[in-house]
Amino acid sequence: MKFSYTTRLLFVLIWIFSFVLAGSALTCAGSITLDTIVVTAAKNNTDEKNIGAETLKTHKVVDLAEILSNEMIEATMIRKSGYGNEVSLRGFGKSELRVLVDDGLLEGACGSRKDPSLSHINILTVDKIEVRQGPFDVTKAGALGGSINVITKKPQKEFLGEVLTKAGSYDFLSSGFYTTGGNEKIQGLIGYNYSESDQYEDGDGNKLYRFAPASRPYNAKGKNMKAFEKHDVWGKLQFTPTENQTILFSYTYGKADNIMTSRAGMDIDSEKTYMGRADYSITGLGNFSDELSFSLYQNSVEHEPFDKYRELAGNPYFHRHNEVKSTITGGKIENKKSAGFVLFTYGIDAYKHNWKGDMYRDDSGVNMDDELIPDVNSYDFGLYLKVNKNYDNLSLSAGFRYDRFESKADEELKQSIVVTSTNKNNDDLFSGYLSAEYYLMDNAFLFGGIGQSIRTPTAVERYLQSPSPYFHGNPDLDPTKNREFDLGFQLTGRTFSFRAKGFYSDLKDYIYQQGKQTADSHQTWTNIDAHIYGADVKIIVDIISDFSVETAAAWQRGKKDSRPEYNNDNDLAEVPPLKTKLALHYDTQMLFGTLEWIHSENADNVDVAAGEKALSGWDVVNFRGGWNYKMLTLNVGVENIFDRRYAVANSYEWDVVSGSGANPAIVYEPGRFFYASISCKF
């Protein structure tokens, strides 16, 4: 394996720090000092990272996927446009990650994933983001490679709030507020935010419209459209009838218009998001419970793609639009109870996911495909148990989960593949894990685990009915099983922290796209066997006068153990190459800042047969800083200081709503991007 000079330089720095830290560990004991930007949780949570609201606001805040990719060396963004991008963790992305809001499942409505889940969440609502990697959480259904749980702000008794305005290059603007207050019995919270942006330009001056597929280039009006425009409003009402009881009602509404999605063949005319939930918790129930909680939620997205800003350069020779809706209704009952030195967490959860989509001709208004997504209902009922136990120098955690999953298309499957005509599937799913932390000394421990997680096929993968007779879902898909082993080491002291981790994932019945070779063969999804393995390392060392240096690297590789029909490439798609980071941090109560250099190797281990393209390696330098003064906080920053042209990652999935096959467009990153924000807390 051959690495570039810049990568070798970063590895040398990492290993120098490793030897320094190993020697320091023998003489330096003390409390564990964790990174203040991405915090690794305490015992039995070594697979979890938390990113707080204050850290999120230091970024340019166009897209949460971008922020996660910047904050976590293990995360990679999949660029689709200026807004609405994906994120992957260690090679797991899209439906292989569960995205939740306050533990409630959230899914976008687009069959081509032009509206990933994170794009529906406004940053001003966020208190923190919990990121879990691997199969080590049985409290969430379908988290194959991990989960991203967005925890939103709760109402407070004190009257307080925040006004935040941010502006940047390419006429980016975001402005909003939230306020909360109440008394001992009732507390409320309300907020609003508006954001918009024009099209950005890459390092060579190419605007977003230039990345559109050749079959659907932008027309004159589309070349001058905004990148996005979005309104969000939210509110919460909390009752605390007694000291140990809390009742919370929440509702969020978002509306976006004219969202440019240059990678695909259609943009988004309108998109509406509705998120409502009710929570009840009670603590101190004696021998029965330490904390008992109940929750109900409904998250719904209405999504309307259109192509009126595109030229009719290929089939079909008329304009179209889709009307798609995704609604998840669910709930959970969970109980926590300590018994001696053991903490038991157990519960039941369930959800119903309805997904329906139709396609219309704009010239005649005729419904040309009333079963694009044929009114699919998916049901999941789950039971889980998690046990944590701490010894003197050993912490153990184990979990078990059972799911009964059912999915059914309530409309006829007109374009099913030859081998099946079923429109209903049932799956019994078992998952679980065993993990441990062993303390070699007060400031050093080993951690590891083994587990199995499962994700079920989506409604699109099983039941999609495209206008093309050879492009559709596969009802016979099996759920994917991830059997994973993780092992790592963490060492901390008063002036440093060191963490390294490796993993191996054996993927059984991995859901993969199957292209066509002849005019009468099928484009669909199939099951294959595959594996992903990799490692990451992160070191932070305090130097002088509130300065610290951070070095980090993450590498993963994916391989097929069996291959889809018409695919002779052994590389697994959408697995990012080596990524490294070198950063200088300055942090005081009043002033703070980060200067970082991020490097990626060439993406040349790609699945060419599935439509992926080899991408050149890249280097980018970013700066962000801020100043706190009483109630005010000023943040400034510039990304891509040297105005480089580069593409971060492939995204090889088909644009199913436009009917296109492999070889999707690659969208390049923004050029030099300046931004600034001012926040007033009261």
Quickly state the pLDDT bin for 230 (edges 50, 70, 90).
very high
Q: How far is CA 633 from CA 53, 75, 285, 417, 509, in A?
A: 13, 28, 43, 58, 50
d(CA 522, CA 320): 23
CA angle at 532 for the pair 433 and 460, rounded to the nearest 5°: 85
d(CA 605, CA 570): 9
Which tokens hold the place of 426? 């049932």
Q: 476 pLDDT exceeds 70?
A: yes
In sequence order, the 6+-apart residues with CB closer than 8 A to the CB of 671 are: 200, 201, 202, 203, 204, 205, 640, 643, 644, 645
d(CA 305, CA 313): 18
**The amino acid at 278:** A
d(CA 574, CA 41): 28
SS3 state of residue 544: coil
Q: In terms of Cα–Cα distance, which of 565, 432, 449 is closest to 501?
A: 449
d(CA 48, CA 46): 6
* pTM, to two decimals: 0.90
Q: 134 pLDDT exceeds 70?
A: yes
Total Cβ atoms within 10 A of residue 299: 25
Find the Cα–Cα–Cα–Cα dihedral 133, 51, 76, 591, rounded to 10°. -150
pLDDT at 419: 42
Over the stretch 316-357, which tens digit does the pLDDT of each residue have? 788 999 999 999 999 999 999 998 889 999 999 999 999 999
Residue in the block written with tokens 């409505």:
109
Q: 674 pLDDT exceeds 90?
A: yes
Over the stretch 371-408, which tens digit does the pLDDT of each residue have? 889 999 999 999 999 999 998 899 999 999 999 999 99
Q: 437 and 394 in contact (C-beta within 8 Å)?
A: yes
Over the stretch 593-602, which tens digit does the pLDDT of each residue have? 999 999 999 9
pLDDT at 263: 86
Which tokens hold the place of 203? 């390092």
Sign for the CA dihedral angle at 496, 52, 84, 467 comes to positive
Which tokens hold the place of 166? 């941010």
Q: 403 and 433 in contact (C-beta within 8 Å)?
A: no
In sequence order, the 6+-apart residues with CB closer than 8 A to the CB of 681 are: 160, 161, 162, 631, 633
d(CA 185, CA 281): 15
Q: How far is CA 542 from CA 33, 276, 591, in A?
A: 11, 44, 16
pLDDT at 517: 65
How many Cα atoms within 13 Å fall on the side-chain side of residue 354?
A: 10
Strand partners of residue 133: 146
Q: 162 and 124 in contact (C-beta within 8 Å)?
A: yes
d(CA 62, CA 557): 29
d(CA 544, CA 523): 59
Which tokens hold the place of 394? 């050993």
In sequence order, the 6+-apart residues with CB closer than 8 A to the CB of 485 are: 448, 449, 450, 503, 504
pLDDT at 655: 66
Q: In terms of Cα–Cα distance, which of 527, 584, 602, 503 is closest to 1?
A: 602
Q: 658 pLDDT exceeds 80?
A: no
pLDDT at 613: 86
- Structural Rg of the chain based on CA atoms: 25
Find the Cα–Cα–Cα–Cα dihedral 302, 307, 169, 589, rounded to 10°. 20
SS3 state of residue 372: strand
pLDDT at 418: 47
The CA-based diameter of the chain, rounded to the nearest angstrom, is 79
pLDDT at 34: 27
Write down how long the chain is: 682
In sequence order, the 6+-apart residues with CB closer than 8 A to the CB of 282 are: 244, 245, 246, 289, 291, 292, 293
Which tops the pLDDT comparison, 418 or 210? Answer: 210
Tell me the mean pLDDT in the region 561-585. 94
pLDDT at 63: 81
pLDDT at 514: 85
Over the stretch 205-225, which tens digit does the pLDDT of each residue have? 999 999 998 888 999 999 999
Q: In 493-631, at which residue ranges do the beta strands (DSSP E only) sit?
A: 496-514, 524-542, 547-560, 579-587, 591-600, 618-629
User: Burial, 101: exposed, middle or buried (Cβ in 10 Å; 0-12, 13-18, 19+)?
Assistant: buried
Over the stretch 74-130, which tens digit does the pLDDT of each residue have? 999 988 888 888 899 999 999 999 999 999 999 999 988 889 999 999 999 999 999
CA angle at 40 for the pair 36 and 44, rounded to the nearest 5°: 150
d(CA 53, CA 567): 44
pLDDT at 195: 95
Least confident of 191-205, 417-431, 519-533, 668-682: 417-431
Tell me the mean pLDDT in the region 415-432. 77
d(CA 499, CA 496): 10
| Structural fold of domain 5-681 | Maltoporin; Chain A (2.40.170)
pLDDT at 662: 55
DSSP string, 280-307: EEEE--TTS-SEEEEEEEEEEEEEEEE-
Residue in the block written with tokens 């950063």:
583
Least confident of 19-33, 40-54, 630-644: 19-33
Q: In terms of Cα–Cα distance, which of 96, 206, 186, 315 is closest to 668?
A: 206
In sequence order, the 6+-apart residues with CB closer than 8 A to the CB of 591 are: 625, 626, 627, 628
Q: 319 and 307 in contact (C-beta within 8 Å)?
A: yes
pLDDT, the chain, mean: 88
d(CA 222, CA 260): 9
Total Cβ atoms within 10 A of residue 205: 10
Which tops the pLDDT comparison, 110 or 20? Answer: 110
Q: 261 and 306 in contact (C-beta within 8 Å)?
A: no
Q: In terms of Cα–Cα distance, which of 401, 418, 417, 274 is closest to 350?
A: 401
